[in-house]
A and B are shown apart, each in its own frame.
Chain A
Amino acid sequence: MDGTALNQPWWIDLLKAAVVINVFLGVVAYATLIERKLLGRMQLRYGPNRAGPFGLLQPIADLVKMVRKEAFAPAAAADLLYIVSPLVAAFTALTSFALIPWGPVWSIGGYDVTGWVADVPIGLILLFALGSLGIYGFIVGGWASGSKYSLLGTMRTCAQMVSYEVSLALSVLGVVLMAGSLSLVDIAVRQQETVWFAGPQFIGFLVFFVAGVAETNRAPFDLPEAESELVAGYLTEYSGMRWGLFQLAEYANVVMLSGLTVTLFFGGWGGPGLPGPIWFAIKLACVLFVMIWIRATLPRLRYDQLMRFGWKVLLPVATLNALVTAILVVAV
C-alpha cells in the first residue's frame, strides 16, 4: 500500500493470522470434497455422500481416519528426513496464505484492519521462494522413503518443478511490470483502479495457469504421482497423517495457486456490490472448478513431452510475453 501508516496494532495481526490459517485450512479440506463431488458428477457418479448431509462431513471423517491410522515406515527409509519432509511441505504451503490479500482495509473501532496478513514489498518473490522450499519436502520425502517407485517419482518431481518454475516466474513478469510493484496488495489494487490483468496479460495468464497446474502436480501434469505408472510416486511409502500432510500440502498449493491467479489476473477482492472477501471466494471457486474440470478431461502427458512442452513452448512464450510487455510499458 502507499505510505500512509496503518493504525493496526500487533495483536490484530496475530488474531487475523489465526483466523486466516484456520479458514484456509477449512477451504483446503473442503476443496478435496468439492473436487471429489465434482469429479463424481462429471463421471456419472455421486461422489462422497455418506458422511453427514451431502457428504459434508467427509473431510472430517478423512482427517479422523488419517490421524488414527498407523504411520508405517519402510525399513529402508532414512528416519529423520522421512518424517520431516511432510512437515516441510505442509508448512511452506500454509505459510504462503499469509501473503494472499482477500479484502480491502476496514476501519473497525478506530483501528485499521487489513484484508491480508502480511503485505511484503517483495511478496511475489517470497511466495515463489516458499514454493521452492516446499518442493524440497516432496523431493526429499520421496528419496528418503527408500523405495524405487518413490525414487522415480522424486526424479520426476525434480525435473518437472524446476522446469515449470522458470516459466511460472517469467509469466508473471508482465504483471509485475504493469503494476510496477512486487507486492500482491499493490498488484490487486492496481487492477481495481485500471483493468484486470487477465485482459492485457492474457498470454501471461495462460502460461501462468498451465505452469501453475504443472507446479501443483495436477492432471494432466500429475506425472510425479501417476498412479498407473508409479503407484503414487513420492507418496508411495507414506501412510497415516504423514500422507495426510503431503495431501494437505498439495491441496493447499492448489488453493494457493488459485488465490494467486485471482490476485494477479482477476483483480483480487475487487468487484461490484458484494464485499471483498466474497468476491475473492467466488473467483477462487471458479479457478478451482476449472482445475478440477481439466483433471476430469485430460490424459496424462509423457515425461519427455512434459519436458519439451515446458522448455520449448512455455518458456519461450513467457519470455516473449515479458519482453513485449516491457517494451510496451516503457513506450507508453
Chain B
Amino acid sequence: MTGRSAAAGVEFPATGAARVRRVSVGEPVYRGTRIPSPIPTILQVPEEIAAAGDVLTVNFGPNHPSTHGVLRLVVDLDGERVVGIRAVIGYLHTGFEKSMESKSYWKAITYPARMDYLCFQQNELLFVMAIERLLETEPPPKAIWMRTLLAELTRIHSHLVWLGTTGLELGAISMFWYCFRERDQILDLMEMVTGVRMHTRYFQAGGLAEDIPPGFAAECRKLIEVMPGRIGEYEALFDRNPIFLERTKGVGLLSAEDAIALGQSGPMLRASGVDWDLRRDQPYLAYPELDFDVPVYPECDVYARYRVHMDEMRQSVRMIEQCLDGMPDGPWIVNDRKFVLPPRDELHTSMESLIHHFKLVSEGYRVPEGEVYETIESARGELGCYLVSDGGPRPWRVHFRAPSFVALQAIAACLTDSLIADMIAIAASLDPVMGDVDR
C-alpha cells in the first residue's frame, strides 16, 4: 500500500485548489492521453467497421440484470467486441435539487440522502456542512467526531455494496450475500443511532439530532473486530482466484492524465495512480486528527479499483476505531436557539423556547444571504454541494456535484478494445449510483 498518513499540519486553502500530485510508485500503464480532444463521453463506431455492416446495436438497460439501477447503455457490437457505446441517463431523474428549493432547510436535509442511496450519510453530512458554513457556526467536538465515524461507516457500507454487486456482475454470485451480511450489521448500527436504517437524517445544522445512544460504542466495536477478518476472506476469494484476476487485470484502463481530464475523483482517481484524497488534502471534520493511509494504485485498471476499495475499507475500520477511542464528551449540538430546537422540557416552562420552537418548526430558520461550495470525499469521490441563500428560510438554489455522474462519463474512455463481459466489469468498477447521477 502506498500513500502517506495525514499529518495534522497539512495546510490547504479552504476552497480546495486542484493541486494534484502524481505519485512516482510503479510505472503507469500508458502515458499521456489517448482521448482525442474534445473529450468524448461516447464511443463512436469506427467507419471501417460500420461500413462492413456487421454491427449489432443492443440496449443494455434501463431494465437489465446487470445495470446498476436504471443506467441504459446503447452498445454497438461487432461480434463480442464493443465498438461503440453511449450511456443514456435520466431514467431516475427525480428533481431532488428543485424540490429542495421549495422546502425549508430543516426539511431539505432529508433529500440529499436519497440521491446517493448507498452513502446516504455522507450526502446528508455535506448539505448540513454547507448550511453550517453559511450560518457560520461550528458543531461541538462530539458531533464532529460522531459525524466522522458515521461517514466512515457509510463508506464501508457503500464499498461493501460495490464489492457485492461487482462480484455479481463477474459471476461470483456468493460475494453478494457475504457483503450484505456486514452491510446489515452496519444498517443495524444506523438503526441503533438514528432509529432508521437508511436515509437517517441524523445530522442537523449545528450538530446531531440526538445524543449517541448508550451501548453504541460496544456494538460498533463488534463490527470493527470482525471486519478486518471478513475483508481478508473476501480478498482470499478474489485475489487468489485466477479467473477474477484475468477478468479484472488490464481491463478498463484510464491513465492519470485522462482521469484528471475527465474530472474523476475518489477510487477511480486513486486507482489511476493519483494521490488525491480530500480527507487528507483538504481536511474537514476530525480527519486531521486521525491516522490513516490513502491507498493509491498506479495500474489504472478494474483490479486497481478493486484494490482501492478493499484498502479503503480497511482504513475506514482503522478510522472508526480511532473515532471511538477519541470520542469527546459534551453536548452533541450547539446551543443556538436561532436554528437548533430547544430541549423538549423547556417548552413547558419558557415562553421564549416555545416561540423559537414554533418559528423553527413552522417557518424554519433563516440562513444569511450568500453562496457556498462545500466538498467532501464521499465513497465515490469528490462530492460537492453548491448552496445559494437569499436570506430566506428556503435555499434559493442547491446543486450537487455528483461523483457518479462524473465517473460515468469515463465509460467510453475506459472501453477501448473491450468485450461485452469487460463492459459489464468496467461499468461496475465505475461504481455509478443512478440516484446520484440523475438526481
Task: Point out residues on A near B: beta carbons under 8 Å.
Answer: 39, 42-45, 148-149, 151-152, 155-156, 219-220, 222-223, 226-231, 295-305
CB of A296 within 8 A of CB of B173, answer yes
Q: A229-B424, A231-B65 are in contact. Are A298 and B177 (CB under 8 A)?
A: no
B199 to chain A, nearest CB (A): 25
From B79, B181, B241, B422, contact of A299 by CB (8 A): B241
CA distance A321 to B244 in the complex (A): 28
CB of B243 within 8 A of CB of A298, answer yes
Question: Which residues of chain A are within 8 angstroms of B192 by Cβ–Cβ distance?
Answer: none
CA distance A151 to B79 in the complex (A): 10
CB of A220 within 8 A of CB of B243, answer yes
Question: Which residues of chain A are within 8 angstroms of B421 by Cβ–Cβ distance?
Answer: 223, 226, 229, 300, 302-303
Closest to A228 in B: B66
Task: Point out residues on B near A: beta carbons under 8 Å.
Answer: 56, 58, 64-66, 77, 79-80, 167-174, 176-178, 181, 237, 241, 243-244, 246-247, 419-422, 424
Q: A227-B65, A228-B66, A229-B421 are in contact. Are A299 and B170 (CB under 8 A)?
A: yes
B193 to chain A, nearest CB (A): 25
Closest to A159 in B: B80
Extra pairs beyond A152-B58, A299-B243, A302-B246 (7, CB < 8 Å): A148-B56, A152-B56, A152-B77, A155-B80, A229-B420, A301-B243, A304-B419
A148 to chain B, nearest CB (A): 5
CB of B181 within 8 A of CB of A297, answer no
Closest to B178 in A: A44
Closest to B238 in A: A299
Q: List 13 A-B contacts (CB under 8 A).
A: A43-B177, A148-B56, A152-B56, A152-B80, A222-B171, A228-B424, A295-B173, A299-B244, A299-B247, A300-B170, A300-B243, A302-B419, A303-B80
Question: Which residues of chain B are within 8 angstroms of A148 by Cβ–Cβ distance?
Answer: 56, 58
CB of A299 within 8 A of CB of B424, answer no
CA distance A297 to B241 in the complex (A): 9
Q: Chain B interface secondary structure, helix, strand, loop or mixed?
A: helix
CB of B241 within 8 A of CB of A298, answer yes
CA distance A223 to B64 in the complex (A): 16
A49 to chain B, nearest CB (A): 16
CB of A229 within 8 A of CB of B243, answer no
CA distance A299 to B176 in the complex (A): 12
CB of A228 within 8 A of CB of B174, answer no
CA distance A300 to B65 in the complex (A): 15
CB of B79 within 8 A of CB of A298, answer no
Q: Chain A interface secondary structure, helix, strand, loop or mixed?
A: helix
Question: Which residues of chain A are within 8 angstroms of B176 by Cβ–Cβ distance?
Answer: 43
From A228, A297, A301, contact of B168 by CB (8 A): A228
CB of B174 within 8 A of CB of A297, answer yes
CB of A219 within 8 A of CB of B174, answer no
B240 to chain A, nearest CB (A): 11
CB of B168 within 8 A of CB of A45, answer no
B266 to chain A, nearest CB (A): 23
CA distance A241 to B419 in the complex (A): 33
CB of A300 within 8 A of CB of B171, answer yes
Residue of A226, A231, A295 with highest tally of chain B CB at under 10 A? A226
CA distance A254 to B77 in the complex (A): 32
Question: Which residues of chain B are within 8 angstroms of A231 by Cβ–Cβ distance?
Answer: 64-65
Question: Which residues of chain A are within 8 angstroms of B66 by Cβ–Cβ distance?
Answer: 227-229
Q: A152-B58, A302-B422 are in contact. Are A44 and B241 (CB under 8 A)?
A: no
B65 to chain A, nearest CB (A): 5
CB of B172 within 8 A of CB of A299, answer yes
Question: Which residues of chain B are within 8 angstroms of A151 by Cβ–Cβ distance?
Answer: 56
CB of A228 within 8 A of CB of B65, answer yes
Top 9 A-B pairs, shortest CB-CB distance: A300-B171, A228-B66, A299-B172, A43-B177, A299-B170, A302-B421, A299-B171, A228-B169, A227-B65
CB of B174 within 8 A of CB of A152, answer no
A255 to chain B, nearest CB (A): 21
From A149, A226, A296, contact of B58 by CB (8 A): A149
CB of B246 within 8 A of CB of A220, answer no
CA distance A223 to B178 in the complex (A): 23
A153 to chain B, nearest CB (A): 11
Question: Which residues of chain A are within 8 angstroms of B168 by Cβ–Cβ distance?
Answer: 228
Question: Which residues of chain B are within 8 angstroms of A228 by Cβ–Cβ distance?
Answer: 65-66, 168-171, 424
CA distance A149 to B56 in the complex (A): 10
B151 to chain A, nearest CB (A): 27
A269 to chain B, nearest CB (A): 34
B314 to chain A, nearest CB (A): 22
